Every structure is written in C-alpha cells, then in structure tokens.
Amino acid sequence: MQSPNTGDGGDVEPLQQQWSFQDVSFHHLAEEPLTTGSKRRKEVELQLLEHLKESNEAIDPLIELWSSERQDAAAIFESMEEVCSPGLKEEEMTLRQMIDESDMEWAEPMVRLSLLFFVKGQYEDSLNWCQKALGVKPWHFEGGRLLVVLHLRMGQFGQALQVARRHLLPALNDRTSNKRRTDWVNEVMKKALQILKEAETAASSKRQDKYLDVDECPIIEGRTLCWE
C-alpha cells in the first residue's frame, strides 16, 4: 500500500537521522502478550505519533514499523506486491494465517486483506476486515483511507465522512497552528497508551501465572495457598 502524500515543505531533519531503530526488535515471535522488544516498538510508535503534530516526516517510518511487527513480514508483504498468484488465493491464505497466528491483534495484515478484497470487488468482505483492523489500531491512517474509499464506492457518503473525521490524518495547517492535526494525534495517543497499559497488565498476569501452579499449592482451611 502506498503511503499518504508526505510533502510538507517544513525544515525538519529527516526522522531516519533523528530516530535509531537499530536497538528496536521488529522481528517478534514471542508468545507473551508483551515482550521487551514489542514494548519498545510501541514506545517508538508513540514517539512517531507525537512527531506527527508538527510534520509529516514520521509517516513513512510508521508505515515501515506497522509492516515489520513480525518475523520476515516486510519481505513477505514486498513479495506479495511484486508477484500475484491466480485469483490472489495464495496471498489471501498467507494473510489469514498471519492474522490467525497473531490472535487478531495485528492490524497490518488485516488492512492488506481488506485491500485484497477491495481489488477483487468483494466490498463487504473488504469493509469487514478494514473495520477489524481499525478496531485494533484506530490510528492506522492507511486503513482509514481505505475505509473512506470503501464507503464512497458503496455510496455510503455519511459513513465516509464520519470515518474521515475519525481515522484520517488531518492535513497540516499553519494558519490554525495545526490544531486539527494536534487534536487528532492527542486522541489516538490516548488510545495507544491505553492499549499499551492493557498489554503490560496482561503480560504481568501471565508471568505471574507461570509461578503459580495450583496443583502444587497446599490447601489450608479450605484456601489454596501459593507462592513463587
């Protein structure tokens, strides 16, 4: 998928120089809800979202980050764009497998599966997967753009307008000090922080469960007592 127009004209140092991704593990196969690498990626994502308040320079790094959340994902996505199987059947199967293995928690393959169905003219299926993707990552502006196009194609102009307001990255506007862009970023960052906190809680709970084996805990006066 192509990224939105990033022409900004601002005198901003390229993010490739400001941000170092060398210490970030993009290749994620962990079974834990949140690992050190995945937490670091989420923190980088928050920093990039923050940078969007004043510039479009963070758009491409964000798209790269979303496409690289799992091992070899970027290479797989790239190969899909270069060579297409008959009826896009192999691509659909691969994307569904990615989604299943992530327990419906990875937005990027959902967006790409939505795009696949859009290309095939299966608009209801495309709409369904795009909405699921934005449920996982509401700030995925490429998914938001696709959802707007879907509603327009289906003649649902009111819904298209609502989606545009909620999920599309507002344009920079010096005359308003980028107020709409800043408000949008602040809102999605609240959602991103909430998701991060929920993931941290789930990870902590799962780690704790590993040390608590009820079958080996003593029972005293009807109560099960466990310790690490």
Does residue 144 carry a pLDDT above 60? yes
- Whether 7 is covered by a domain: the verdict is no
The reported pLDDT for the residue numbered 140 is 98
- Whether 15 is covered by a domain: the verdict is no
Q: Residue 150: count other Cβ atoms within 10 Å of its Cβ.
A: 23
Q: Could you give the angle at the alpha carbon of 106 between the alpha carbons of 104 and 111, nearest 5°?
A: 100
List the one residue out of 171, 106, 174 whose CA is nearest residue 143.
Answer: 106
- Whether 10 is covered by a domain: the verdict is no
- Whether 12 is covered by a domain: the verdict is no
The reported pLDDT for the residue numbered 35 is 77
Mapping DSSP onto H, E and C, the string for the chain reads CCCCCCCCCCCCCCHHHHCCCCCCCCCCCCCCCCCHHHHHHHHHHHHHHHHCCCCCCCHHHHHHHHHCCCCCHHHHHHHHHHCCCHHHHHHHHHHHHHHHHCCCCCHHHHHHHHHHHHHCCCHHHHHHHHHHHHHHCCCCHHHHHHHHHHHHHCCCHHHHHHHHHHHCCCCCCHHHCCHHHHHHHHHHHHHHHHHHHHHHHHHHHHHHHHHCCHHHCCEECCEECCCC
How far CA 128 is from CA of 48, 52, 91, 102, 219, in Å, comes to 28, 28, 18, 18, 49
Domain that holds residue 108: 21-224
pLDDT in tens, 205-216: 766 665 555 455
Mean pLDDT of 56-73: 90
* Both tokens assigned to 79: 């190969």
Instruction: Give the count of domains, the chain.
Output: 1
- Whether 89 is covered by a domain: the verdict is yes
Whether this model's pTM surpasses 0.85: no
The reported pLDDT for the residue numbered 69 is 83
Mean pLDDT of 212-223: 51
Q: Which long-range contacts (CB under 8 A, 24 or more apart) does 158-162 make?
A: none
- Whether 14 is covered by a domain: the verdict is no
Q: Which residue has the higher pLDDT, 156 or 24?
A: 156
Percent of the chain with pLDDT over 70: 75
Q: What is the CATH number of the domain that holds 217?
A: 1.25.40.10
- Whether 11 is covered by a domain: the verdict is no
Pick from 30-39, 57-66, 75-84, 175-184: least confident: 30-39
- Whether 46 is covered by a domain: the verdict is yes
Contacts of 43 (CB under 8 A, 6+ apart): 196
Task: Identify the band that residue 43 occupies on the pLDDT scale cut at 50, 70 and 90.
Answer: very high
